[in-house]
Amino acid sequence: MTNKEIGRLLEWMSKEEYEKVTTFLKNIYTTEINNTSRKHKKNGIEKYQRALYKNATKYELKFKEILVNNGIRFYFQKIFKVPKRIGNSNYIVDFYIPQNNVVIEIDGSQHNKLENIQKDSIRTEALLSMGVSRVIRFSNEEVNNNSEKISNFMERLKKEQEGLKNLMA
């Protein structure tokens, strides 16, 4: 039922019925946060994001520490909402670095299976079509060993950020 249809139904109700229905709907669709009057609706993707955030792998936490130690600002478990014209799913990426417009994924061994490689490829294409400049993938082993690949990547990110700062000055 659309909001317009609900509005038409509410027009035909008595004031008491209207108040009961609107109170009922408010209780279903909103929750109070921090005892304020601000209302917030959590949908499935936001709940899933929160669960991923709370249950981050040790490799994600280690990579997060690497970013912090290198002074790189980032979002952890960022939601990318896919426009309907591109697809019908949203994506949660492990890390997003807005200054460089880069997504970083930390991949476990399950990403080596053919079906997951195909899903990752579709996901990467969708993110790129949404304007992300690069999607970088590191394996758990690369993160655990703090590989040279990660060190080189951090240096490259810092140089790009310095270049952007110089352009802005």
DSSP 110: G
Residue whose tokens read 């005892």: 35
Helix (H, G, I), strand (E, B) or coil at 86: coil
Q: Are 29 and 21 in contact (CB under 8 A)?
A: no
Model confidence, pTM: 0.66
- Between CA 130 and CA 126 the distance in angstroms is 6
- Between CA 63 and CA 70 the distance in angstroms is 11
Q: Which fold has domain 56-168?
A: Endonuclease; Chain A (3.40.960)
Residue whose tokens read 């959590």: 42
Residue 96, beta-bridge partner list: 75, 103
- Burial label for 110, CB within 10 Å (0-12, 13-18, 19+), is exposed
* Cβ-based neighbours of 34, under 8 Å, separated by 6 or more: none
Identify the pLDDT of residue 103. Answer: 95
* DSSP calls for 51-78: HHHHT--HHHHHHHHHHHHTT---EEEE
**Which of 74, 77, 75, 79 is CA-nearest to residue 43?**
79
Identify the pLDDT of residue 74. Answer: 93
Identify the pLDDT of residue 32. Answer: 38
Identify the pLDDT of residue 165. Answer: 66
- Burial label for 117, CB within 10 Å (0-12, 13-18, 19+), is exposed
pLDDT by position in tens, the chain (length 169): 555 565 665 566 566 666 666 665 555 544 433 333 333 445 677 887 888 878 889 999 999 999 999 999 999 999 888 777 666 678 889 999 999 999 999 988 777 778 888 888 888 888 898 889 999 999 999 999 887 888 889 988 888 888 766 666 5
**Which of 121, 124, 144, 142 is CA-nearest to residue 134?**
124
Q: Where in the chain is the domain with CATH 3.40.960.10?
A: 56-168
Q: Which amino acid is at 64?
A: K
